[in-house]
Structure 1
Amino acid sequence: MVAEPEGPEPEGEGPEQAEGPGQSGRKPTSDEAHSAFAPPTVPARPEPPAEEHPTSEFAVPAGVAPPGTSEEDQPTSEFATPTGVAETAGAAETEGSAFAPPSTYSARHSPPAFTPAEGVPLVTLTKDAPWQDRMRTMLRMPVGERPVPEAVQRHEEGGPAVPRVLDLTLRIGELLLAGGEGAEDVEAAMFAISRSYGLDRCEPTVTFTLLSITYQPSLVDDPVTANRTVRRRATDYTRLAAVFRLVHDISSPESEVSLEEAYRRLAEIRRNRHPYSGWVLTVASGLLAGAASVLVGGDVLVFLAAAVSAMLGDRLAWVCAGRGLPEFYQFVAAALAPAAMAVALTLSPLDVRASAVITGGLFALIPGRALVAGVQDGLTGFYITAAARLLEVGYLIVAIVIGVLSVLYLGLALGAGLTPETALHSVERPEVQLLAAMALSLCFAVLLQQERNTVLLVTLNGGVAWSVYGALALTADIPTVAATAIAAGLVGLFGQMLSRYRYASALPYVTAAIGPLLPGSATYFGLLAIARGELNNGLASLSKAAALALAIAIGVNLGSEMFRLFLRVPGVGEPAPRRKAAKRTRGF
């Protein structure tokens, strides 16, 4: 063993390398003896004297307090709680649901709320009442105030199939709207279907050509919206009655109609043919025109002339429809034949009342169905649909005016002696005119493709309308417009009673019954006066025709509303649930 040379301790060696007690003569442990993962031993460097410490020129001088120790140098937020003020427990409100009541709300110390003097009415829906009244009542209520629905029809365990229910609702609403049903009744039917299958938060919307329905599962879920466009309109009251029966069965708890069964019945309704063929409709239009000509004073010859001209006009309109021409030109073509027949009879040596021939032809063309539906939609608050329906009526009337005036101008140029004549002679033969009015209603019902078991009822309703009108206007000397409105009101009242008895639509019992009240003669005399150059008389007569048409529409709607106002639940004897009015505007 070689001894280490004596000398001063090398600078930089730490105490680990110095010889201590009990370690004299031992060789220091080599660095290779340590683990590769152990931190290397760093020898302690002796602390230099104070004067040898290098200082930064940015260092804080000795005796000066470092920054941040004084209160003025510590920046604080203006929203921070001052020192010495204890934080209130729960002052910071945790974020929660938007629909949860605030933490400061207390049911015992709730803010005062306005309560009407009569209290908040409790809405009760009687199951014995017709589904139309129950659905109208709920549709006019806010969503939060509607009673919780009881699903009438069973569905899958996972809940109702929302897309299929919405699709079925739209398809049924399309058939009703295309058949001429009012917008309010279409919305009520759509709401009844969706509610019967368990979709309570539904909002149906009906316009003239678009149907839409929105379903929202809850207040925090995204809504589901579906819509359907009505492109074709066909007058078939048999199909309309079948759809009403389907809606009644779906909304009734006594019958079980699954979604598959409802789709099957809807497909059958679509596939069913019209109860009357095209030639039967042509003959019915001719008989309608003949009955209308007798109603305004015509004889047998006038009856035959009006019937033949109306059938020719109907066939001409069918030809135009087969060529794809719009309905406007179809009405122009249909109005040409009666006017041409009247001019030809005037130029002939026969003594024929030409005015009765043209008036009878106009009775078969005046769009009374669309007029009644348009005014009803306006009175119930569906202004967009009402404006569209009335615009359609305006176009059809303009088409009739063009067709008749073009022939009248030609007849006057040829020297036809067309002069205004008395329209009605009800005092001389009331029995004949009553039979003519009933025949007119019957033919009108056939043109509307009504069910055969409803034709007799609507024929009797038309006879009642004409009897009341004749008694008021011709016997009691009541103004024509007022007498027409009263007679139309009775038609609406009886039609609503018959529809509730059969759980069907009121249109089949109302539309054909107002046929004898249509302003055919006033329309003809107005057009004749314009053709003769008497503009003031013509406009006055056309204004009277418009007033009579509005009286018919308003009377029908008022009669229906009066029946609903005093409706009593069958077998209970209590008034039906109060139906809230459609408060759209208040006038201030």
Structure 2
Amino acid sequence: MVSDPHASEQAGGSPEDRKPPDEAHSAFTPPLGVPHPPIPEDEHPTSEFALPAGLRPEAPAEPEGSAFVRPGSTTGQTPLPTPAGATALSAAFTPPHGIPVIHLTKEAPWQDRMRTMLRMPVGERPVPERLGGGDEETGPAVPRVLDLTLRIGEILLAGGEGAEDVEAAMFGVAYAYGLERVEPTVTFTLLSISYQPSLVDDPVTASRTVRRRGVDYTRLSAVFRLVDDITSEGITLEEAYRGLAEIRRNRHPYPSWALTVASGLLSGAASMLVGGESLVFLAAAVGSMLGDRLAWLASGRGLPEFYQFVVAAMPPAAVGVAFGLAHANVQASAVITGGLFALIPGRALVAGVHDGLTGYYITAAARLLEVGYLIVGIVVGVLSVLYVGLQLNPGLRRLNPEQALQVYKAPVVQTIAAMLLALAFCVLLQQERHTVAFATINGGVAWVVYGALAHVAGINAVPATAIAAGLVGLFGQLLSRYRYASALPYVTAAIGPLLPGSATYFGLLNFAQGHLPQGLTSLVQAASLALAIAVGVNLGAEVARLVLRTPVVQEGGLGRRAAKRTRGF
């Protein structure tokens, strides 16, 4: 008979007696007369994933943490206590083969030091020493550092500096003020920089667009000195901002009339390189100055740079055609060639090829596209005038393309003309006065080397130009390292005598006369000479960096990382 719990409670039993029996908790209580099933040996059966008897569970290597917790080995801004010579990463992030000891020699220019660190992975970069401009507890003022970095990069990029050196300068400024995980990016018109405080913090990104570009190597050199002070002397943010404001307020060292006179001097000196005399010198100078004034007028009216080159190329060509129509005893082709020397965008071409060789292909493509547009503008301006002149007199003897085959050998006159041409380029580029003498001598040496190889040794013009341009790049790099400045003031003006003015002019003249095969041949030669100049300058600079002391010393020898290595795939 089944017991009644209410009856036992009414009988007044003990609490244990009043407690319902265990069978009451089960819905499968057997009926009266059916025996209970046997009790299992273990009242708590184990899981089917339990370890077999006799095996011990292994203790976990380390307690598991959340994926969203800040790791204890983050580098951040405060360096962790690490062994002497080790990097900022702790042992948890150290690869099995270890991280080599890295030292940066202070004797090397900041360009080399920062360029080398840019090529390192973020985890292998040495922890920066915190300079002035921020509280030791809160760290540097990140927005102000990024703003200063972008402003400095804007001036350098607008002044024609290569993308690699602009990134090195931006990284050097940010790194000097304690921003370790920073990545600058430079394209043709856009500058951006991203900073990530640690592996788990959100990155901070800022950008700046270069709206206007202008050539002023005096301002460029001042910015290089400011970056050198920031990376070496450790000036504060306020001092750096004041220095940058002074650089922006400084006026150009040469007035506009001096630039016009320098343009005339450049064209006159270039006409002497191809056999012109005193009257040719004067005619080329007048035509170039007229073109310069017309370009200034077009610029003031807001016309794009393409049309400025179109109108600047017309007066020199018009002066040469006028001499030809008048049957004057003047070498009209030398007049037009001299005017083209002042217009060929050699600076942009060298910068574009340099960016391509160093792995900045987007910026290189944009620069070379700009060069193409400017050359097309020159072609349109010159061809328009030549076409009109040939329609008026189809037999212009003074514009004969056969003069391209003649070789002018006047070493003393041509060397003096090359140095005058480089001097005029220095003024047009707004260089500092103490750099003018070095660039002028460098241009004279380049022409002497080219003349010796092409006219005396009989070497083809393309390799002779490349070798001469390589010496220009080598000497320019050495001078820039000696003065801890940019190499552009010592290089850009010095390559002026090597520019392919004659080949460009005779190619355009053949096109105007309807000789397409001859015109294409001349223009291909001009393009080959231009590329030889750009590659030679870059190669000379790389040779200078290769033979001089490397800024990176690793365990086991000297190390220098390449910009990119794809091995063909």
Which TM-score applies when normalising by structure 2? 0.85
Alignment partners' CA distance in 1, 2:290 and 2:438:
29
Distance change in 2, residues 1:511/1:188 (3 Å): same
Name the residue aligned to 2:333: 355
Equivalent residue number for residue 81 of structure 1: 50
Distance 1:91 1:156 in 2: 41
Counterpart-to-counterpart distance in 1, 2:519 and 2:401:
11
Match of 2:22 in 1: none
Structure 2 match to 1:53:
none
Select the residue among 112, 129, 132 that pairs with 1:150. Answer: 129
Taking the aligned partners of 2:489 and 2:178, their CA distance within structure 1 comes to 31
Which SS does the other structure have where 2:401 is aligned?
coil
Q: Give the Cα separation in 2 of the matches to 1:370 and 1:68.
A: 96
Q: Aligned residue for 2:544?
A: 563
1:205 aligns with 2:185: yes
Aligned residues: 524
Deviates more, 1:407-416 or 1:180-189: 407-416
Q: How many angstroms does 1:215 deviate by?
A: 1.4
Contact 1:297–1:424, Cα closer than 8 Å, also in 2: no
TM-fit CA distance, 1:530: 1.2
Distance 1:259 1:63 in 2: 96
Q: Look up the match of 1:372.
A: 350
Q: Report what 1:24 is aligned to.
A: none
- Code of the residue aligned with 1:390 in structure 2: it is L
Check whether the contact 2:131–2:236 (CA below 8 A) recurs between aligned residues: no
Structure 2 vs 1, CA of residues 281 and 91 (structure 1 numbering), >3 Å: closer, same or farther? closer
Q: Is the contact between residue 426 and residue 433 of structure 1 (CA under 8 Å) also seen in structure 2?
A: no
Q: Distance in 2 between matches of 1:151 and 1:550?
A: 44
SS at match of 2:185: strand
Secondary structure at 1:341's aligned position in 2? Answer: helix
CA distance in 2, matches of 1:455, 1:127: 29
Cα deviation code 1:404-439 (max 9, x no counterpart): 111111111111513214348765421111111100
Matches for 1:138-177 after TM superposition, within 5 Å = 138-153=117-132, 155-158=134-137, 159-177=139-157
Larger Rg belongs to: 1
What is the identity, as a one-letter code, of the residue corresponding to 2:135? E
Contact residue 288 and residue 339 of structure 2 kept, 8 A? yes
Aligned to 2:160, the other structure's residue is in SS state: coil
Distance 1:325 1:154 in 2: 44
- 2:494 matched to which residue of 1? 513
3-state DSSP of counterpart to 1:227? strand
C-alpha contact 1:296 1:424 (8 A) present in aligned 2 = no
1:429 aligns with 2:407: no
Give 5+ residue unaligned stretches, structure 2: 1-6, 13-17, 19-26, 74-90, 552-556
Q: Which moved more, 1:300-309 or 1:143-152?
A: 143-152
Q: Which amino acid aligns with 1:238?
A: T
Name the residue aligned to 1:490: 471
1:189 aligns with 2:189: no
Q: Distance in 2 between matches of 1:68 and 1:396?
A: 101
Match of 1:179 among 159, 171, 178: 159
TM alignment of 1:17-416, pairs within 5 A: 61-62=31-32, 80-81=49-50, 88=57, 90=59, 94-96=63-65, 122-153=101-132, 155-158=134-137, 159-252=139-232, 255-416=233-394
Paired amino acid for 2:433: R
Q: Secondary structure at the match of 1:422?
A: helix
| Whole-angstrom CA distance in 1 between matches of 2:158 and 2:333 | 35
Quote the residue 2:15 is aligned against: none
Superposed displacement of residue 198, structure 1: 1.1
Structure 1 residues 356, 194: CA separation in 2 closer, same or farther (over 3 Å shift)?
same
Task: Name the Cα RMSD after superposition.
Answer: 3.4
Calculate percent identity across the aligned residue pairs. Answer: 72
Kept in 2: contact 1:203–1:214 (CA 8 A): yes
TM-superposed deviation, 1:220: 2.2
Q: Contact (CA 8 Å) 1:137, 1:579: kept in 2 or not? A: yes
Structure with more of its chain in helix, by fraction: 2
Contact 1:160 1:198 in 2 (8 A): yes
CA distance, structure 2, for counterparts of residue 387 and residue 75 of structure 1: 73
CA deviation string 1:2-25 (max 9, x = no partner):
xxxxxxxxx9x9789xxxxxxxxx
What does the per-residue CA deviation read over 1:527-569, in whole Å, with 9 as the maximum and x for residues that have no partner? 1111111111111110110110010011111111111111148
SS in 1 for 2:179: coil
Assess, with a 3 A threshold, how the Cα gap between structure 1 residues 204 and 67 changes in structure 2: closer, same or farther.
Answer: farther
Q: Give 3-state SS (helix, strand or coil) of 1:124's partner.
A: strand
The amino acid of 2:112's aligned partner reads D
SS in structure 1 of the partner of residue 104 of structure 2: coil
Three-state SS of the structure 2 residue aligned to 1:499 is helix
Give the partner amino acid of 1:445: C
How far did residue 197 of structure 1 move?
Answer: 0.8
Matched, 1:544 2:525: yes
Q: Report the AA paired with residue 530 of structure 1.
A: F
Pair 1:503-2:472 in alignment: no
2-structure distance, mates of 1:232, 1:301: 38
Does the C-alpha gap of structure 1 residues 170 and 66 become closer, same or farther in structure 2, counting only changes over 3 Å?
Answer: farther
1:447 aligned onto 2:433: no
Inter-CA distance 322–187: structure 2 relative to 1 (3 Å threshold): same
Q: Is the 8 A contact 1:208 1:389 kept in 2?
A: yes
Corresponding letter in the other structure for 1:531: A
Task: Report the TM-score, using the length of structure 1 for normalisation.
Answer: 0.82
Q: Aligned to 1:212, what secondary structure does the other structure show?
A: strand
Q: Report if aligned partners of 1:183, 1:382 keep a CA contact under 8 Å in 2.
A: yes
Q: 1:296 to 1:321 in 2, by over 3 A?
A: same
CA distance in 2, matches of 1:92, 1:504: 54
> CA 1:280 to 1:482, structure 2 compared with 1: closer, same or farther past 3 Å?
same
Query: How far off its partner does 1:340 sit?
Result: 1.4
Compared CA separation, residues 64 and 465, structure 1 to 2 (3 A): farther
- In structure 1, give the amino acid aligned to 2:298: C
How big is the shift at 1:204?
Answer: 1.1
Distance 1:275 1:93, change over 3 A: closer
Contact kept in structure 2, 1:153 and 1:196, CA below 8 Å: no
Return the offset for 1:156.
2.2
Residues 407, 218 of structure 1: CA spacing in aligned structure 2 closer, same or farther, 3 A cutoff? same
Greater alpha carbon shift after TM alignment, 365-374 vs 313-322 = 313-322
* 1:422-472 C-alpha deviation (Å, 9 max, x unpaired): 348765421111111100000011000111111111111110011111111
Matches within 5 A, 1:515-530: 515-530=496-511
- The CA distance in 1 between the partners of 2:469 and 2:373, in whole Å, is 24
CA contact 2:152–2:223 (8 Å) conserved in 1: yes
2:462 touches 2:528 (CA, 8 Å); kept in 1? yes
Q: In the alignment, residue 202 of structure 1 is paired with which amino acid?
A: V
Structure 1 pair 580–14 and aligned structure 2 pair: CA distance change class (3 A): closer
The one of the two structures with greater contact order (alpha-carbon pairs below 8 A, sep at least 6) is: 2
Amino acid paired to 1:135: M
Contact 2:274 2:408 in 1 (8 A): no
Offset at 1:301? 1.5
